[in-house]
Amino acid sequence: MSKPTFYFHPFSGPCRTVSTVAKILNVEMEMKKLDLLTQEHLKPEFLKVNPFHKIPTFVDTDGFTIDESRVIAMYLLQSRKPDSFLYPNNDLKKRTQIDRWLHYDISFATIISTPMYCKFRGKPVQDHQVEQGKETLKTLDGVMASFGGKFLTGSDQITLADIAMYFSCNTMEIYSEYFKFDDYPNLKSWYQRVAEALKQYDTEGEIPKAIEMIKQFAQQRMAESAKQ
């Protein structure tokens, strides 16, 4: 039986969101790594697959092609296991709560990662970027104060929203100069709960290994940018 194809890079949080969902669903994919630093995503063969030259990109066995990590993950869940606790097709209100957090995560991920990407490119980090990040995290931490040991939708199980937000928050673990988990105890507690919940699916410890690799890469890139 043919497998769907997944174009990815292991350093990408959105890519890790999709690969984690696929693992939970036991969906085997043909993994095609694209090196963005050497611009493999701009080569003609990939542009034929995705003219937007973005990863992650998912190609199903019938040729159906989509990008955007949250959309890919929702498609996988609805096409392979629509009754999954990650994104339950039979519970509109629960699914709407998940969608709310997924939409929130789009801007959240950008806000908390901006200082790190500025450092990557050797550009100065602006005060307003740091303040926006701190204010966003403070608000989120306040919301999470009422969770009582539960996950984003108030349940005892993780959902797609928790997975996507978790990988966005990896940025704070990778680069903590401006945003530190210890300053946001409720966020830190939730983050640790998700990490623990994912261990049963990440039996080979690939998630912490990837985070450590990205840390090393980030330190190297920032050191190189600082010299320029």
Task: List active site positions.
Answer: 12
Strands 57-59 and 65-67: antiparallel
Give the whole-angstrom CA distance, residue 141 versus residue 100.
17
Supply φ then ψ for residue 195, to 5 degrees. -55, -40
Q: Other C-beta atoms within 10 Å of 93: how many?
A: 9
Q: Are 16 and 207 in contact (CB under 8 A)?
A: yes
Q: Other C-beta atoms within 10 Å of 137: how many?
A: 22
Query: 3-class DSSP state for residue 32?
Result: strand
| 67 DSSP β-pair partners | 57
Q: Taking the CA atoms of 188, 191, 195 and 197 in sequence, report the sign of the dihedral they define.
A: positive
**Consecutive H or E run containing 16:** helix 13-25
